[in-house]
Amino acid sequence: MSSAAFAFQQQIGSELARAFGGKYRFFKSRVELRTSDQNDWDVIIFAGSNKYSPYISLEFYFGRNFEAARQLEKRLGDSPIYYHIQQYSLNRNHMKGLAYSGPYSWDLDISKPMGSVVPEMKAAIEGMAAPFFNRFHSIESARDAIASDDPWCFGGPIFWKQLLILDAALNEINHFKTWAAQLDEIQRRQAEEALNRLAEIGIR
């Protein structure tokens, strides 16, 4: 992505943070909005892509980052995961029962004023991300959703690492071991290596 396109997204992020009246802190380098909820984080990260100059397509990811899982990652010496459970604005129609039916993607000309994108994105965050944050407020609800491949979030075997971290944070490793029977050979081998690392710090 061009520096001009990235700077345009940063401008939108700054304006969004102001529109939310300080509810979200804006991290300019990652184009991320974040708010803290009892040390857990609600996180929104822009996902912009070049179409053809000067046009970009803009969507956003949203997810929750749990303090207990974050502390476990620190003990393992791993890089933190941005979100332990997540969704993407383009998947709006997969979120069964969601009341919001407004825009979830924006085609923008970065050479022109932002227009209505800030209020529209604010409404999208309130309509999609806020219900998501409420639905997966607890680490247990997030773990169960990933394990069951809930369409409200990214789940299934490809997200085994997030599930393992959540189960380990809950001290329920046996739940993961039972669930992991569905993993393919490569994933299962990777999961065994991760389980061994957890065992080294006393989590079995």
Sign of the CA dihedral running 162, 186, 45, 76? positive
Task: Give 51's pLDDT tier (boundaries 50, 70, 90).
Answer: confident
E strands in the chain: 25-27, 32-37, 40-52, 55-65, 85-88, 106-109
| pLDDT of res. 147 | 97
Q: What is the mean pLDDT of residues 96-121?
A: 95
Sign of the CA dihedral running 154, 157, 158, 162? positive
| pLDDT of res. 1 | 61
| pLDDT of res. 48 | 85
Q: What is the mean pLDDT of residues 134-150?
A: 97
* pLDDT tens digits along 163-183: 999 999 999 999 999 999 999
Please tell me the distance from the alpha carbon of residue 165 to that of residue 9, in angstroms, as a whole number. Answer: 31
